[in-house]
């Protein structure tokens, strides 16, 4: 356990020392929140003001950027550079190493999420009605799912350039069709089917239900079940494909 | 007792046989060197022993462990210096040492390590600010941080200045006093010769000789060189007739080199000849055979070609 905390401490230090690049990752969802919020001030989706509809979507953008993309690219880079190889020469357990990255990403995303919620509440009168505990649990499940998915992707790819391109190619279409920006119902039929397979759909929907629509877990239980299945699969693949060196 | 047992190791990358049937044993408390040119299979061999690579066939036992199966307990007890070590560039030297120390059940005081290698004034520098040589120094002291029973050093003094190289050699030499075993790869002749109790010479993935440096040089009857400078007019033909001389050449005006397998009798006869002909030597030097000569004898090539 001590090793895990030490490793989280190091990850946070590294994170802070790279704060400029991190700043831009965090900035994008905030900018989108502000721009979309102003542009669609009178628009409503299912009787919900657009800003309120988009807030959970912006949070999922945050998760994809910080947990999925950033983390997986860093992992591949550290393997390509040989940082992992030297760590692999010590008794450091791989679950401690991966777990510390996951914990660090979670801490960072919690802060970013609070910031987004604050912006939504202060500037766009978004009413937060749901239970904080439920919201926290759904968010955490999403973070674990998408960090694992990033680690699994990193395990299948050798070079940082490929990793970065692959992460983008997976992340952006998923954000567009899975309901982060607009409801899935507005998509053509075929894309709706695709969206119903992808994990992000099952993260956005419960997040929105809990945060904005004041629903309990009961209404989203099927969604959460699918998300948990995705989480378990990604988690297993990420552990199986993890390697300290090529 | 054996610290390392390597038996019949094979490893190929595509069509290239990097390790082609290697077997040897390293005794506990021994400094064992693997000497060979770049690309001979040194790094592949050491990385199989470290548990980084799986051999195609053959077995490795290090301190009684299987490096892959028993990886965590195995790593507790060894220290590794990779051919090129990359560390978190955004951590400070002191932070790296603290971090690595935290990975082990027990660790040594890292201040003494920093001082020993001469990195004291760099303890608050970021890894990315270090020079190549300073990074090597840090990589070296990291191998000592868990007070290991066995150290794997892959080209440990590559890129180090002469002074630091001597410091590193001094530390390695003292290791057996504490019961430690050292396995070192190198393509530096002096390193293998001065440091190692026994040396295995590897070429094209095969071990072509294995013995103490002294025995290797003796067993192959490699030649020694006698060099001298003189103002006297000397005929090379006369030098060639001296007993044991296989070759004699004038390298520059007044400078001669004699190659011999029988240094003692050649020297004696050279002196007799000098008395008789009235030669005055200004300088005379006997240069012993090196492992390089052994390598040339075995392969027909220089080690760094």
ipTM for this prediction: 0.89
pLDDT of residue A149: 96
- Look at A156-165, B122-131, B165-174, B270-279 and tell me which has the smallest mean pLDDT: B270-279
Mutation site, B77, B79, B90, B144, interface A, largest A CB count within 10 A: B90
pLDDT tens for residues A60-99?
Answer: 999 999 999 999 999 999 999 999 999 999 999 999 999 9
pLDDT of residue A142: 95
Token digits of residue B133: 């040589």
Mean pLDDT, rounded, for B124-143: 95
Mean pLDDT, rounded, for B76-95: 95
pLDDT of residue A12: 92
Task: Decide if pLDDT at B87 tops 90.
Answer: yes
Chain B nearest CA to A245, separation (Å): 7
Is A38 inside a domain boundary? Answer: yes
Mean pLDDT, rounded, for A32-48: 86
Mean pLDDT, rounded, for B262-286: 88
Mean pLDDT, rounded, for A182-201: 91
Token digits of residue B45: 């061999």
pLDDT tens for residues B191-238?
Answer: 888 899 999 999 999 999 999 988 888 777 777 888 889 888 888 888
Predicted model pTM: 0.87
Is A219 inside a domain boundary? Answer: yes
Contact call for B103 and A244, based on CB within 8 A: no
pLDDT of residue A238: 94
Mean pLDDT, rounded, for B52-73: 95
pLDDT of residue B287: 83
pLDDT of residue B305: 58
pLDDT tens for residues B282-298?
Answer: 888 888 778 888 888 78
Rounded Cα–Cα distance for residues B137 and B140 (Å): 5
Q: What is the span of the domain harbouring residue A55?
A: 2-241
**Domain annotation for chain B: domains and CATH numbers:** 2-212 (3.40.50.300), 223-288 (3.30.70.100)
Mean pLDDT for chain B overall: 91
Q: Could you tell me the sign of the dihedral formed by the alpha carbons of A50, A52, A53, A57, in that order?
A: positive
Contacts of A166 (CB under 8 A, 6+ apart): A153, A157
Task: Decide if pLDDT at A7 tops 90.
Answer: yes
Task: Decide if pLDDT at B190 tops 90.
Answer: no
Domain count, chain A: 1
Chain B nearest CA to A19, separation (Å): 12
Task: Decide if pLDDT at A127 tops 90.
Answer: no
Q: How confident is the model at residue B45 (pLDDT cuts 50, 70, 90)?
A: very high
Q: Could you tell me the sign of the dihedral formed by the alpha carbons of A102, A103, A108, A109, in that order?
A: positive
Mean pLDDT for chain A overall: 91
pLDDT of residue B27: 96
Is A246 inside a domain boundary? Answer: no
Task: Decide if pLDDT at A204 tops 90.
Answer: yes
Give the pairing type, strands B57-62 and B2-13: antiparallel
A→B interface, C-beta within 8 Å:
2-3, 6-7, 10, 13-14, 17-18, 81-83, 85-86, 88-93, 244-245
Count of beta carbons in the 10 Å neighbourhood of residue B117: 21
């Amino acid at each position: 356990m001590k090793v895990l905390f030490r490793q989280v401490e190091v990850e946070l230090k590294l994170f802070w020392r790279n704060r400029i690049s991190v700043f831009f990752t965090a900035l994008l969802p905030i900018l989108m929140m502000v721009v979309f919020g102003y542009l669609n001030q009178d628009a409503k989706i299912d009787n919900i003001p657009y800003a309120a509809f988009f807030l959970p979507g912006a949070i999922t953008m945050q998760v994809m950027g910080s947990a999925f993309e950033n983390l997986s690219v860093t992992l591949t880079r550290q393997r390509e550079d040989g940082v992992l190889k030297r760590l692999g020469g010590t008794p450091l357990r791989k679950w401690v190493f991966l777990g510390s990255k996951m914990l660090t990403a979670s801490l960072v995303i919690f802060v970013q999420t609070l910031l987004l919620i604050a912006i939504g509440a202060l500037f766009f009168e978004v009413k937060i009605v749901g239970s904080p505990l439920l919201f926290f649990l759904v968010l955490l499940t999403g973070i674990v799912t998408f960090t694992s998915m990033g680690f699994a992707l990193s395990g299948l790819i050798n070079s940082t350039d490929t990793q970065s391109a692959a992460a983008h190619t997976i992340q952006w279409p998923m954000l567009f069709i899975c309901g982060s920006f607009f409801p899935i119902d507005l998509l053509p039929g075929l894309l709706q089917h695709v969206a119903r397979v992808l994990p992000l759909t099952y993260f956005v929907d419960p997040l929105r239900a809990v945060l904005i629509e004041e629903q309990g877990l009961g209404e989203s239980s099927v969604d959460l079940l699918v998300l948990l299945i995705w989480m378990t699969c990604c988690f297993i693949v990420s552990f199986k494909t993890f390697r300290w060196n090529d | 007792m054996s610290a390392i047992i390597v038996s019949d190791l094979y490893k190929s990358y595509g069509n290239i046989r990097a390790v082609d049937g290697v077997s040897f044993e390293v005794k506990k408390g021994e400094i064992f060197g693997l000497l060979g040119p770049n690309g001979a299979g040194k790094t592949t061999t050491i990385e199989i022993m470290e548990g980084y690579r799986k051999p195609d066939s053959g077995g490795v036992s290090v301190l009684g462990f299987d490096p892959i199966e028993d990886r965590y307990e195995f790593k507790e007890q060894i220290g590794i210096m990779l051919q090129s070590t990359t560390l978190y560039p955004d951590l400070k030297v002191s932070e790296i040492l603290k971090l690595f120390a935290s990975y082990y059940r027990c660790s040594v005081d890292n201040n003494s390590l920093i001082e020993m290698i001469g990195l004291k004034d760099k303890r608050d520098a970021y890894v990315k600010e270090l020079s190549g040589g300073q990074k090597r120094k840090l990589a070296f002291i990291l191998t000592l941080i868990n007070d290991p029973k066995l150290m794997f050093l892959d080209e440990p003094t590559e890129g180090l200045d002469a002074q630091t190289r001597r410091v590193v050699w001094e530390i390695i030499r003292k290791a057996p006093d504490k019961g430690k075993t050292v396995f070192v790869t190198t393509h530096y002749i002096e390193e293998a010769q001065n440091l190692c109790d026994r040396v295995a010479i590897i070429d094209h993935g095969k071990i072509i000789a294995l013995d103490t440096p002294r025995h290797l040089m003796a067993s192959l009857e490699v030649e020694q060189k006698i060099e001298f400078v003189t103002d006297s007019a000397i005929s090379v033909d006369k030098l060639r007739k001296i007993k044991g001389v296989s070759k004699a050449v004038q390298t520059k005006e007044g400078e001669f080199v004699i190659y011999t397998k029988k240094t003692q009798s050649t020297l004696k006869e050279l002196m007799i000849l000098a008395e008789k002909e009235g030669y005055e030597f200004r300088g005379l030097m006997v240069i012993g055979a090196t492992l390089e000569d052994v390598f040339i004898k075995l392969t027909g090539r220089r080690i760094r070609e």
